[in-house]
Structure 1
Amino acid sequence: MASNTAIPTSTSVVESAVIKAPLSHVWHHIKLQNFSDFWSALKQSEFTKSQEETDVVKWTFNDGTELEVKQEEHSTLNHYITYSVITAKPELTYTSVVSTIRCYSVTSGDLEGSTFVEWTGNFSSDADAGVIQDAKFKRRDALADLAKAAAKK
């Protein structure tokens, strides 16, 4: 049997946070073209194409990485957005990823008036453990940045 040095890993990541700001303050930031307004890892986020069915936004990270992300779904009623990466410079080491951000109002308890935010990523089976860990920590950092931005509103 051939030796495989790859580390078996899940191909999904889920990060979440309770943000001490009302849902309206948090949801206001969850537009692909506005991510650079709160996410400190992004230098710029801008529309590249607006098609009849969907929008494509280019994210330019501080390290020079560029991603074109396509909005797959968006619900202002249920407060979620789903997007996929369609191009990347440099090229990704995996085939695909689809991510969803969902926001829920916290309606009771000590954190009433806050917002629960969940950010998932489902990667193709060729994503390795390093990719999943990187996605985990990027989401954690972005959620912390989102909390700061939402508190300012």
Structure 2
Amino acid sequence: MSSAIPTSTSVVESAVIQAPLSKVWHFIKLQDFSKFNTAIKTSSFVKGANEETDIVKWTFNDGTVLEVKQEEHSTINHYITYSVITSQPELSYSSVLSTIRCFAVTAGECEGQTYVEWTGNFSSDASAGVIQDAKYKRREALADLAKAASKA
């Protein structure tokens, strides 16, 4: 019998950001995440990557280095999907696919603001701790995005 705690392998965090979609969407490029996410020290394109594939290296303040691959990007529907392809140190799970979607709020008391949803779908070997960590990291990054967009 396994001693692992059963857990969902997905996380969904969202926020209403007090800035118009155009200002929020401006930051949603893998190579620009360091412009809003204070946990990331630098973000840059990986040299030598296939021309048809966008791969970006994120170096975090704690020394972690991820290479992320853009899987999908839509400037029409305002979303980006990316996966982690390498990590130093190694991840404790096999894979994760993340998506950030932005929606203009067009009516009500938040009209003119932006609803942002950030999901992560992890492989089945991700622990409950990994999922909780992802939840809080996304919340912190959404707060950072709100600060950056309000200054833009």
| TM-score, normalised relative to structure 1 | 0.97
**Match of residue 112 from structure 1:** 111
User: In the alignment, what sits opposite 2:19?
Assistant: 21
Q: Unmatched 5+ residue regions in structure 2?
A: none
Whole-Å separation in 1 of the counterparts to 2:84 and 2:102: 21
Measured in 2, the distance between the counterparts of 1:28 and 1:135 equals 23
Provide the C-alpha distance between the structure 1 equivalents of 2:136 and 2:53, rounded to a whole number of angstroms. 28
Give, in angstroms, the shift of residue 5 of structure 1: 1.6
**Count of paired positions:** 151
Which residue is equivalent to 1:127? Answer: 126
**Aligned partners of 1:152 and 1:8: how far apart in 2?**
41
1:15 partner letter? E
Q: CA deviation at 1:42?
A: 0.5
Deviation at 1:63, TM superposition (A): 0.4
Identity %: 76
| Aligned with 1:12 (options 10, 13, 28) | 10
- The residue matched to 1:36 in structure 2 has which SS? helix
Specify the alignment match of 1:44 in structure 2.
42
Cα distance in 1 for residues equivalent to 2:58 and 2:3: 33
Q: 1:31 aligns to what?
A: 29
In the alignment, residue 145 of structure 1 is paired with which amino acid? D
Q: For residues 116-136 of structure 1, what are the alpha-carbon distances to aligned partners after superposition, in whole Å with 9 as ceiling and x for unaligned? A: 000000000000000000000
RMSD, aligned α-carbons = 0.8
